[in-house]
Amino acid sequence: MADVVLESLTKKYGEVTAVKEVDLTIHDQEFTVLLGPSGCGKTTTLRCIAGLEEVTGGNIYMEGRRLNDVLPRDRDIAMVFQNYALYPHMTVYKNMAFGLKLRRVPKEQIDERVNRAAGILGLGELLHRRPRELSGGQRQRVAVGRAIVRNPRVFLFDEPLSNLDAKLRVQTRVELLKLHKQLNATSIYVTHDQIEAMTMGDRIVIMLDATIQQVGSPMDVYQKPANQFVAGFIGSPAMNFAPARVSADNGKLFIEGKGFKIGVLQENASELGSYRGQEVTFGIRPEDLRIETNGGADNSFEAVVDIVQPVGSDIFLDLNVSGDPITARVEANRKVRGGDRLRFSPLPGRVHAFDTTSGKTIL
């Protein structure tokens, strides 16, 4: 049972608080992704778990055992770094064997473990090469191999794909997931790439400014973001936001802004009711807007198409709604041209609203 528990974990570097009172339970065999913008504290969190940083406050437990004062090499945790940190003068074999040698693992056992890892990772033919004689993707696999041979209870990955080109990233992502299925080791994976997080994570932990904003499955954080930051960070193109007001008309609630007035579903009236007459931030995802063919249908608003961006499977439309920019994502077979004047409406039930002061999700 390799569950990892962070309890009010805090790390300060002088005046800078890199991680602030983080509470998190990572379940046995789970693939957890830490996601957030640069500087939010992802690497620091991993380094604390690995024991490479002394924590300022709080506790780290693994399988119920407190790790705070346990030396890194005794933690049963292996970390794969962003820059791979391979030894340039050593062969692939020696790079993978090195940590085991330091631990005085018997030679035959080292040989067995390195060969097994090389087999899993398709490195068998490359064991005699040095890192400079490898491609980026191969180096990345050696770095993973070095972690695998240790047979750790927990794997930590710090943006291991960021040095790879786009195509190799996608391939390696799949390889890492297959590897996870095979080894079933508890894994914590850091990235600032939300697509990577969505496709890889059993659960995603979204961080901002040294704190956790939300923990949930990929679908949870996409469909039910806890606040405006998460809503804008997850999803591509990003969710549209616009200032709005909650108004009432004939007993029905509306979210009303410059150039749009959208009826609130009866089932959502209770959440928004207390905001009647107040400002809120309206949110709608580009994929939740539809081109309205039915004239001035309820909830629809007019937009002028500024820019048409086909991406193959879809078209991204940059729209102008009464002077404000909005992005819509529509099917590739739509014939739309720059300058077109169209009506759009949000899919019912996909409308979001956020508190303008706290950023908290209302709807």
H or E element, residue 172: helix 166-183
Q: Contact 343/297 with Cβ under 8 angstroms?
A: yes
For ligand ATP, the binding residues in 242-271 under the rule CB under 6 A are: none
**Closer CB to ligand ATP, residue 52 or residue 332?**
52
Instruction: Note whether 13 binds ligand ATP by CB under 6 A.
Output: yes
Instruction: Note whether 44 binds ligand ATP by CB under 6 A.
Output: yes
Residues 118-157, mask of contacts with ligand ATP (x by CB under 6 A) = ----------------------------------------
25, 39, 136, 322: residue in contact with ligand ATP (rule CB under 6 A):
39
Type of residue at 66: R
Q: Contact 316/309 with Cβ under 8 angstroms?
A: yes
285 binds, among Mg ion, ligand ATP, none (CB under 5 to 8 A by kind): none
For ligand ATP, the binding residues in 167-196 under the rule CB under 6 A are: 192
Q: Contact 110/101 with Cβ under 8 angstroms?
A: yes
**Closer CB to ligand ATP, residue 56 or residue 268?**
56
**Closer CB to Mg ion, residue 4 or residue 46?**
46
40 binds, among ligand ATP, Mg ion, none (CB under 5 to 8 A by kind): ligand ATP
Instruction: Note whether 43 binds Mg ion by CB under 5 A.
Output: yes
**Max Cα-Cα span within the chain:** 81
**Closer CB to ligand ATP, residue 49 or residue 303?**
49
5, 24, 26, 42: residue in contact with ligand ATP (rule CB under 6 A):
42
* Cα–Cα distance for residue pair 248/141, rounded to 1 Å: 59
20 binds, among ligand ATP, Mg ion, none (CB under 5 to 8 A by kind): none
**Closer CB to Mg ion, residue 60 or residue 207?**
207
User: Would you list the DSSP string of 271-324?
Assistant: HHHTTBTSEEEEEE-GGGEEE--STT-TT-EEEEEEEEEE-SSEEEEEEEETTE
* Cα end-to-end distance, the chain, whole Å: 38
Residues 15-34, mask of contacts with ligand ATP (x by CB under 6 A) = -x-x----------------
DSSP 94: H
Helices 136-148 and 107-121 cross at an angle (nearest 10°) of: 140
Q: What percent helix, strand, coil does the chain show, rounded to 5?
A: 30, 35, 35
Rounded to whole angstroms, what are the CA distances from 101 to 87, 126, 264, 327? 14, 20, 65, 56
Instruction: Note whether 38 binds ligand ATP by CB under 6 A.
Output: yes
Q: Contact 130/88 with Cβ under 8 angstroms?
A: yes
Which of 305, 297, 310 has its CA nearest to residue 348?
297
Residues 11-40, mask of contacts with Mg ion (x by CB under 5 A) = ------------------------------
13 binds, among ligand ATP, Mg ion, none (CB under 5 to 8 A by kind): ligand ATP
Which part of the chain contacts ligand ATP (CB under 6 A), choosing from 37-45, 260-268, 270-278, 296-304? 37-45
6, 9, 41, 205: residue in contact with ligand ATP (rule CB under 6 A):
41
Report the nearest approach of ligand ATP to the CB of residue 52 (Å). 10
* Cα–Cα distance for residue pair 74/158, rounded to 1 Å: 20
Site residues, ligand ATP (CB under 6 A):
13, 16, 18, 36, 38-44, 192
Site residues, Mg ion (CB under 5 A):
43
